[in-house]
């Protein structure tokens, strides 16, 4: 089927042809004929990146009257980035329609937006909070609105826009139609459909909550302490990656991005604490591929519409199951293929089964690439860069003669070996004795009789020089921690040294540990509002006899610096 078969006007078809569109996507093919009729409410369910903007944008352009300067269509989207993207796409679609499209969103001067609305517009693309503000200021009038489009409706609800959506829909004319587009049919989306739509036509492409079919899904299981080293190995294995790394919190996003940049990777952070100017600068770098990897929170990354993203990496899975679909949907856009990779610890394995059932996908458990595979990929990428490099012979002509003279005593094979050595030795050195980071689901090896007592005896002897205080922590063996993990947790968040920690009694779901009494206040202050694998961690003073337990080794830090210069 072609776009000319969908009932679109010649002016719309001209714009589509100029944009290079040939055949409609499944959601466009099914939705456009229904929406052109214009008499019914509509629910369209399709994965992110399947062309939903054209599916509702083209029929909306056909409905508006360019001679009427009052708003006739409203499109609501969850983020500023998506709002601007939709407005930009609609302006391209409307090249031969002479329709005015105005984007209004938070984080920008509202006075300018009020002036734009007063000049007249047929379609308003808006974030919910800013549109409601403009309605209350009587700058945005909905009297003649005949279509309200809710794009990424599930995302708007996840971001807390329920009250704003309710208020806007209540103020819109009763005889308008509502077109609801979403990647998933979450409960809140179904509620909006029930409350604000009448007998809507529903079109679902690929199943109600399914991820896009052209995405491959993988997961790697690691110990929690090895999550960041595992991320670096994946990035080293994929030297040509152009992707988004998703974290759960702003702090984690900033920390991961800073670590990657310090280790020589081309990365930037995108989260809610950045100013709008900073966000725009980061996105500009990412869109132009000046930055190879974007480290982002779920909220900040909503609305990112970049067609060439090759990989999405879930550094930590979101608590919201539906977020997996939205995250993965950042890749495989515009009919392209992509890869979604999740890093999990041993206790998150059950989450994988839940995601597979909900999204009707298969997530393959793979091994973290070993040193040989990483070095081979890095070498091949280097060779490809050499083969593909564009040589400006005129500019370098004056410099070639001395280079030829300096290298003339080396034959071709020797030059190749030395060239590779310069660019590649740091990877070989770093990965020469690389340990296996894959978490193995094997029964815990039994300790030899007396081993635990021996390790705690050493700690007790060390603590004889101190007055001590005991604490209880609500994590234990069922949470996948060992004594070493408790030591690291206590030291990292309290700032005390490990030699101030005595014996550890590792229990099933709670544990006790002993510290030097002068470190007790640091423990109380530092170990508040902590989370471990999404579980709240609490520490309180304990009483009783001497604890017993064992300690474990800490994690390894550092890594190879990526070759090449990072552009500003």
pLDDT tens digits for 497-531? 777 888 888 887 788 888 888 888 888 877 777 76
Q: Which residues form the domain of 70?
A: 3-204
Question: For position 149, what pLDDT does the model report?
Answer: 96
Residue 558 lies in a domain: no
Alpha-carbon distance of 439 to 123, in angstroms, equals 53
Residue 446 lies in a domain: no
Shared domain for 321 and 417, answered yes or no, is: no
Number of domains in the chain: 4
Residue 72 lies in a domain: yes
Tell me the CA end-to-end span of the chain in Å, nearest whole number: 45
Shared domain for 411 and 490, answered yes or no, is: no
Helix H or strand E segment including 400: helix 393-407
Backbone angle region of 20, left / alpha / beta, with phi > 0 → left and psi within -120 to 50 → alpha? left
Shared domain for 238 and 309, answered yes or no, is: yes
Alpha-carbon distance of 376 to 465, in angstroms, equals 53
Task: Please identify, among 370, 387, 419, the residue that sits at the C-terminal boundary of a domain.
Answer: 370
Shared domain for 252 and 239, answered yes or no, is: yes
Alpha-carbon distance of 76 to 140, in angstroms, equals 13
Shared domain for 196 and 243, answered yes or no, is: no
HSE, side-chain direction, 13 A CA sphere, residue 150: 33
Question: For position 457, what pLDDT does the model report?
Answer: 54
Shared domain for 366 and 379, answered yes or no, is: no
Q: How far is CA 526 from the centre of its chain?
A: 29
Shared domain for 280 and 200, answered yes or no, is: no
Question: For position 306, what pLDDT does the model report?
Answer: 81
Question: Environment class of residue 39 by beta-carbon count within 10 Å: exposed (0-12), middle (13-18) or buried (19+)?
Answer: exposed
Residue 559 lies in a domain: no
Shared domain for 335 and 227, answered yes or no, is: yes
Strand pairing report for 535-537 and 530-532: antiparallel
Shared domain for 185 and 224, answered yes or no, is: no
pLDDT by 10-residue block (mean), the chain, 568 residues: 90 90 89 91 84 93 94 93 90 92 91 95 96 96 96 80 91 94 77 87 73 84 94 96 94 94 94 82 92 88 78 91 83 82 91 87 93 90 89 90 91 88 81 87 46 50 65 80 79 78 82 84 79 73 49 38 42
Shared domain for 251 and 362, answered yes or no, is: yes
Question: For position 207, what pLDDT does the model report?
Answer: 56
Residue 552 lies in a domain: no
> Residue 500 sits in a domain of what CATH number?
3.30.70.330
Alpha-carbon distance of 176 to 161, in angstroms, equals 21
Q: With 0.75 as the threshold, say if the pTM is over it.
A: no
Question: Environment class of residue 77 by beta-carbon count within 10 Å: exposed (0-12), middle (13-18) or buried (19+)?
Answer: buried
Residue the block writes with tokens 């109380």: 524
Residue 346 lies in a domain: yes
CB 334 within 8 A of CB 268: no
Residue 278 lies in a domain: yes
Shared domain for 103 and 200, answered yes or no, is: yes
CB atoms within 10 A of CB 448: 8
CB atoms within 10 A of CB 510: 16
> Residue 246 sits in a domain of what CATH number?
3.40.50.300
Residue 340 lies in a domain: yes
Residue the block writes with tokens 């090449």: 564
Shared domain for 152 and 235, answered yes or no, is: no
Token pair recorded at residue 33 = 């004929």
Strand pairing report for 73-76 and 215-221: unpaired
């Amino acid at each position: 089927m072609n776009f000319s078969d969908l009932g679109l006007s010649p002016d719309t078809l001209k714009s589509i042809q100029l944009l290079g569109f040939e055949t409609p996507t499944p959601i466009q093919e099914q939705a456009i004929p229904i929406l052109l009729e214009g008499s019914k409410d509509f629910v369209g369910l399709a994965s992110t990146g399947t062309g939903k903007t054209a599916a509702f944008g083209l029929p909306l352009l056909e409905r508006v009257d360019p001679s009427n300067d009052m708003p006739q269509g409203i499109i609501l989207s969850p983020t500023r980035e998506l709002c601007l993207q939709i407005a930009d796409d609609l302006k391209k679609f409307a090249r031969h329609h002479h329709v005015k499209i105005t984007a209004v969103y938070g984080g920008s001067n509202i006075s300018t937006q009020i002036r734009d609305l007063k000049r007249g517009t047929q379609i308003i693309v808006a974030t919910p909070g800013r549109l409601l503000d403009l309605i209350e200021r009587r700058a945005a009038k909905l009297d003649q609105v005949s279509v309200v489009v809710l794009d990424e409706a599930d995302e708007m609800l996840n971001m807390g826009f329920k009250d704003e959506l309710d208020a806007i829909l209540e103020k819109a004319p009763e005889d308008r139609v509502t077109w609801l587009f979403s990647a998933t049919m979450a409960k809140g989306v179904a509620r909006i459909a029930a409350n604000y739509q009448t007998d809507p036509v529903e079109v679902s492409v690929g199943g109600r909550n399914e991820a896009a079919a052209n995405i491959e899904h993988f997961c790697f299981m690691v110990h929690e302490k090895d999550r960041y080293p595992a991320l670096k190995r994946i990035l080293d294995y994929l030297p040509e990656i152009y992707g988004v790394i998703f974290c759960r919190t702003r702090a984690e996003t900033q920390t991961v991005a800073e670590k990657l940049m310090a280790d020589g990777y081309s990365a930037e952070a995108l989260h809610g604490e950045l100013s709008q100017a900073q966000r725009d600068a980061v996105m500009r770098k990412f869109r132009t591929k000046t930055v190879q990897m974007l480290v982002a929170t779920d909220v900040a990354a909503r609305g990112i519409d970049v067609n060439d993203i090759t990989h999405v990496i879930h550094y930590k899975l979101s608590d919201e199951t539906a977020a997996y679909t939205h995250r993965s949907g950042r890749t495989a856009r515009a009919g392209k293929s992509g890869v979604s990779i999740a890093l999990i610890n041993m206790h998150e394995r059950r989450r994988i089964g839940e995601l597979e059932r909900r999204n009707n996908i298969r997530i393959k458990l793979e091994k973290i690439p070993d040193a040989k595979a990483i070095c081979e990929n890095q070498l091949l990428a280097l060779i490809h860069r050499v083969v593909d490099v564009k040589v400006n012979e005129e500019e370098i002509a004056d410099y070639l003669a001395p280079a030829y003279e300096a290298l003339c005593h080396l034959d071709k094979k020797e030059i190749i070996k030395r060239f590779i050595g310069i660019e590649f030795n740091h990877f070989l050195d770093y990965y020469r004795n690389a340990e296996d980071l894959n978490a193995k689901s094997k029964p815990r090896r039994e300790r030899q009789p007396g081993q635990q007592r021996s390790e705690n005896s050493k700690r007790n002897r060390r603590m004889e020089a101190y007055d001590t205080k005991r604490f209880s922590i609500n994590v234990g063996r069922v949470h996948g921690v060992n004594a070493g993990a408790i030591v690291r947790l206590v030291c990292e968040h309290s700032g005390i040294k490990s030699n101030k920690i005595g014996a550890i009694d590792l229990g099933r779901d709670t544990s006790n540990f002993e510290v030097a009494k002068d470190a007790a206040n640091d423990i109380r202050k530092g170990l508040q509002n902590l989370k471990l694998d999404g579980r709240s961690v609490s520490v309180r003073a304990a009483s009783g006899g001497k604890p017993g337990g064992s300690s474990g080794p800490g994690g390894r830090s550092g890594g190879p610096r990526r070759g090449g210069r990072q552009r500003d």
